Structures are given as structure tokens and as C-alpha cells.
Amino acid sequence: MGKDTILNILILGMDGYIGWSLALHLAEKGNRVTGIDNFSRRRTVEEIGSWSATPIHSMEKRMQVAKANYQERIRFHEGDLVDYKFVSDVIKSCKPDAIVHLGEQPSAPYSMIDVAHAVYTQQNNVIGNLNLLFAMRNFSPDAHLVKLGTMGEYGTPPLDIPEGFFEVEYNGRRANMMFPRQPGSFYHASKVHDTFNIMLACRIWGLRSTDIMQGVVYGTRTNEINLSENPDLCTRFDFDEIFGTAINRYTAESVIGHSLTVYGKGGQTRGFLALVDSIQCLTLICENPPAKGEYRVFNQIDEVYNVTELAEIVAKVGRRNGLAVEVAHVPNPRHEAENHHYKVEARHLRNLGFKPTRSLEQEVGLMLEDLTPFKDRIKEKEQVIDPKTTWSNGQSLEEGIQNYSIRQNTRTTS
Ligand code: NAD
Ligand code: USQ
């Protein structure tokens, strides 16, 4: 299998930030793409009183626009991974070569709001993934599971972080063992539970999987998505304290003149990856599957910075573009190390041919350009920017969701 092979690819979570971008790219390359989603991301963002800075279309409209380019090479089914019958029916009808599993609740702060949000996150993620593993065993045992885990599975240990496994010596014996996982939120913990379930399924059923420890993704553009050329195809872009991630939030903050929100001392260090490169890596992984029964782990990151350095880069690019940008240190709502060792091995993807498309600084310039037309949309929701969800005492968000219940049936276009 290589880069010219046409694949039948099932994307779980196709309506999301990465899922929609990936679907367009894989279809553009000539693959047959089937997507599923239950639109929970649209509902949870609405629940916390926010919306995507980029106005995204309903899935009906998205499919109309995509089909004009890709015809029957792209399809969509609405449904929930927590429903085993739905998952198995889709797998039976799609007969995928690869299944890219992005369909989980992806926010650490959301999982820390209170017991309902923690339980929802782990039920949704762990049970959805378990249903998938059983459906693969029963109906598609040769397919390649490309699973989105997170660098946060490892936490911030005082050792260099290898790609999944490391050699360890204990009481005079040496072995290649799984590197310890130390997740920092109930969301990150859900990914660790998935890791164990996938490893077990590969070992006992002979499934094949690439478990991706991905760093924080940022950006507005891919090869197929350019807001000024084809706004109808844009993917979502969140900037609120719950669903927005560090660089995406800093760029949205810059555009409306809100101080950049560095949490605490700001020495928290992470690996970052542009959206266009997340798509490049996922495509390479689909094109290069592991052997049957193999469970492999790839660390998927590009540049490594601490969150103060990042804010300074965004501020520098913003000022160059005429924006008045200030960096602020706000009290850290999370319970996390603010100064720590962080050195990550990430060779596998580069060995497969991954080459970063642009530097982080160049990407930030494009993001500011893309977000400026949506300044008013960001400004209208400015109240969701400053952090209110804390890790330590499990308090709920101050406003908006005290009477929380997970709404399963409301569909919105936020
Ligand atoms: P996203 O929320 O935009 O996309 C996930 C999609 O899955 C959403 O459209 C959601 O509606 C859908 N979904 C969730 N639960 C579902 C279920 N039970 N059934 C059907 N659909 C369901 O998130 P994203 O930022 O695109 O992230 C995709 C994946 O990558 C997630 O698993 C996330 O944990 C992981 N990840 C993201 C980042 C990042 O920075 N964005 C970094 C590392 C890992
Ligand atoms: N941070 C700030 N200011 C902000 C937002 C975040 O200083 O305005 C800090 C956080 O305290 C944290 C770091 O930036 O130390 C990263 O936070 P984040 O919100 O950008 O990312 P995180 O919560 O870790 O989650 C995101 C995605 C998640 C993915 C993870 C990859 O939402 O789906 O799993 O990135 S990783 O961080 O490598 O685990």
C-alpha cells in the first residue's frame, strides 16, 4: 500500500475540527470517504454559550458543497458511536481499509466541570471506542484502526518521552515496556483507557492499530480549506475557555484586542502541530498501515514551546500586522506543572515522509489574516474567553450550565 493506492476510509467524528478537514483532503486525493458524527461538538459548544469563530455550515450543506467536487466519493451518516448497532451497521456497509477514530469528547476542561461532564466524557469516549473494537473484530478484522490519542496520555514526566514504549531495567532484568501514562484530566484519562483497550484487542484478536499521541493542533487552513477562496468549506474554530486550545485562543484574542491568556507561570510546555500537518500525518498513516496484530504508537507533534513563548510569538506576529496585543498571566484554572522537563521523541512520522508545511510563526500570520473578518463574531462571545472552570474543586462554570443536562436531540449550526 502506498501513496497512490485508493483507500476506502471511514472517519468517525467527520463533522469536527480535524474530521472535516481530513475528509476533504482524503477525498481530494481520490479516496472513498465515509463519515459519521452525532453532532455532539456543536451541542456542547452551544451549551457553554459559545460558537465557532468561522461560521460553519450544517452537514447537509457541507455535503452538498463537497459532493459538487467529489460526487459519491464522500458520504455521511448521522449516528452515535455509543450505539453498537449503528457502529457495526456502518462498518458492515462501508467495508473500510482504514478507520480514523476522531469521534470523542476532546476537551480537558469540559471533562473537569463536574461529575456529569466527567462521566459523560469517559462513557462517550471509552464505550464508543470499545464498541468500535468489537465491531472491527466481528465485521472488519483486517482494517487499520487509526486512533487519535493525545500527548497528554504521558503527562509531563521527569524523563524524555519515547514513542509509546521504552527499555527498562528492574531487579537485573531488562524488557521493552509501555512507557508510564500519567494523564492530567478525566478527558486525558479516557484516552489512556482507550489505549489499554486497543492494545488488548490487537494482542488477543489480531487487530492492527496506530495509536497517535497527538500534540495541540492549531490553524485555520489546509490544502483544501482557505477561508478567502472557499468559505463554504471551512472547518470550525473554537476560542472559548473550554474548547479553544492555546494557539487558537491566542490568535482569536489578538484579533479582538483581548490580552493573551497565559495560565499561571506559563512554563507549561507542549508539542504543537498545524492543522494542515495533522492532516498530512493522518494521511501518511492511512497509506502505511501496520502488520496484522501490530499495535504501534506514533508521537504526532512538530514544534515544542512553553505557553509564554507561544504568546510572545503570537504577540510579535500580531503587532507586525498592526494589532495592539498584550500578554497577560492569569491565575491557572488547571492543576498542572508550570515548569517541567519536556523532551519528546517523534521519529516515526518523519521516517514515513512527514515534512512540516510552514513554521508556527508563518501559520500564525495566516490565522490572523483568516480570523480578522470574523472579529465581530469573536467579540460577541468575548465573555467565554477568560477561564472559569477549575480542576481542583470540581466547581461548575459560574454561568450558563448550572442546570446542565446533555442534550442529545438538538441540532444547531454553531
Ligand atoms: P472535535 O470535537 O472537533 O471532533 C470530534 C467529532 O466527533 C465532533 O464532531 C463530535 O460531534 C464527534 N463525536 C464525539 N463523540 C461522538 C460519538 N459518540 N458518536 C459520534 N460522533 C461523536 O475535536 P477535534 O479537535 O477535531 O479532535 C479530534 C480528535 O483528535 C479527538 O479525539 C481529540 O481528542 C483528538 N485530539 C485533538 C487535538 C486538538 O488539538 N484538536 C489534539 C490531540 C488529539
Ligand atoms: N493554556 C494557557 N492559556 C490558554 C489555554 C491553555 O496557558 O488560554 C495552557 C494550558 O494550561 C495547558 C496548555 O496551554 O498547559 C495546553 O492547553 P490546551 O487547552 O491548548 O490543550 P489541552 O487542554 O491539553 O487539550 C488540547 C486538545 C486535546 C488534546 C491535547 C493535546 O483540546 O483534545 O488531546 O490538546 S496535549 O496537550 O498534547 O495533550
Write down all domains in the chain, each with its CATH number in brackets. 8-413 (3.40.50.720)
Q: What is the pLDDT of residues 311-353, one digit of tens each?
A: 999 999 999 999 999 999 999 999 999 999 999 999 999 999 9
What is the rounded average pLDDT of the residues 251-278? 98
Cβ pair 299, 161 in contact under 8 A: yes
State phi, psi for 37 to the nearest 5 degrees: -165, 155
121: helix, coil or strand? Answer: helix
- Strand 303-306 and strand 269-274: the pairing is antiparallel
Q: What is the pLDDT, as a whole number, of residue 392?
A: 78
Determine the residue of 253, 270, 343, 390 to mutate for testing ligand 2's pocket, defined as the one with the most ligand atoms within 8 A of the Cβ atom.
270
Q: What is the pLDDT, as a whole number, of residue 403?
A: 39
Q: What is the pLDDT, as a whole number, of residue 393?
A: 66
Cβ pair 53, 17 in contact under 8 A: no
Torsion of CA 17, 128, 112, 19, to 10 degrees: 0
Give the Å distances, CA to CA, from 304 to 215, 267, 341: 9, 12, 12
Nearest CA owner, ligand 2 atom 12? 268
Ligand nearest to the CA of 183: 2
CB-CB neighbours of 351 under 10 Å: 9
Which set of grid coordinates corresponds to residue 34? 465515509
Ligand nearest to the CA of 264: 2
Global confidence as pTM = 0.95
Q: What is the pLDDT, as a whole number, of residue 318?
A: 98
Give start and end residues of each alpha helix (H) in 257-359. Answer: 275-287, 307-320, 348-352
Q: What is the pLDDT, as a whole number, of residue 5?
A: 85
What stretch of H or E contains 306? strand 303-306
Nearest-10 crossing angle of helices 17-28, 275-287: 60
Determine the residue of 263, 340, 388 to mutate for testing ligand 2's pocket, defined as the one with the most ligand atoms within 8 A of the Cβ atom.
263
Determine the residue of 102, 132, 191 to mutate for testing ligand 1's pocket, defined as the one with the most ligand atoms within 8 A of the Cβ atom.
102
At residue 414, does pLDDT exceed 80? no
At residue 3, does pLDDT exceed 80? no
- For the CA of 80, the closest atom of ligand 1 is 19
Q: What is the pLDDT of residues 200-258, one digit of tens each?
A: 999 999 999 999 999 999 999 999 999 999 999 999 999 999 999 999 999 999 999 99
User: What is the distance in A from the centroid of ligand 1 to the CA of 296?
Assistant: 21
Cβ pair 42, 411 in contact under 8 A: yes
Q: What is the pLDDT of residues 11-25, one digit of tens each?
A: 999 999 999 999 999
Cβ pair 194, 126 in contact under 8 A: yes
Nearest-10 crossing angle of helices 84-94, 128-139: 40
266: helix, coil or strand? Answer: coil
Q: What is the pLDDT of residues 130-178, one digit of tens each?
A: 999 999 999 999 999 999 999 999 999 999 999 999 999 999 999 999 9
Ligand nearest to the CA of 273: 1
User: What is the distance in A from the centroid of ligand 1 to the CA of 385?
Assistant: 21
Alpha carbons 270 and 303: distance in angstroms, whole number: 9
* Residues at CB less than 6 angstroms from ligand 2: 106-108, 150-152, 215-216, 245-246, 249, 261-263, 268, 270, 307, 334, 336
- Considering only CA atoms, which of 60, 59, 8, 57 is closest in space to residue 34? 8
Q: What is the pLDDT, as a whole number, of residue 360?
A: 98
At residue 404, does pLDDT exceed 70? no
Q: What is the pLDDT, as a whole number, of residue 4?
A: 74
Which residue has better confidence, 259 or 396? 259
Cβ pair 74, 66 in contact under 8 A: yes
User: What is the distance in A from the centroid of ligand 2 to the CA of 184?
Assistant: 11
Ligand nearest to the CA of 110: 2
Q: What is the pLDDT of residues 76-101, one digit of tens each?
A: 999 999 999 999 999 999 999 999 99
Which set of grid coordinates corresponds to residue 42? 456543536
Q: What is the pLDDT, as a whole number, of residue 402?
A: 47
Burial class (CB in 10 A: 0-12, 13-18, 19+), 36: buried
Bridge-partner residues for 176, per DSSP? 167
* Residues at CB less than 6 angstroms from ligand 1: 13, 15-19, 36-41, 80-82, 102-106, 124, 128, 148, 150, 214, 216-217, 245
Give the Å distances, CA to CA, from 133 to 100, 175, 212: 12, 28, 16
User: What is the distance in A from the centroid of ligand 2 to the CA of 377?
Assistant: 23
Alpha carbons 136 and 262: distance in angstroms, whole number: 42
What is the rounded average pLDDT of the residues 384-395? 82
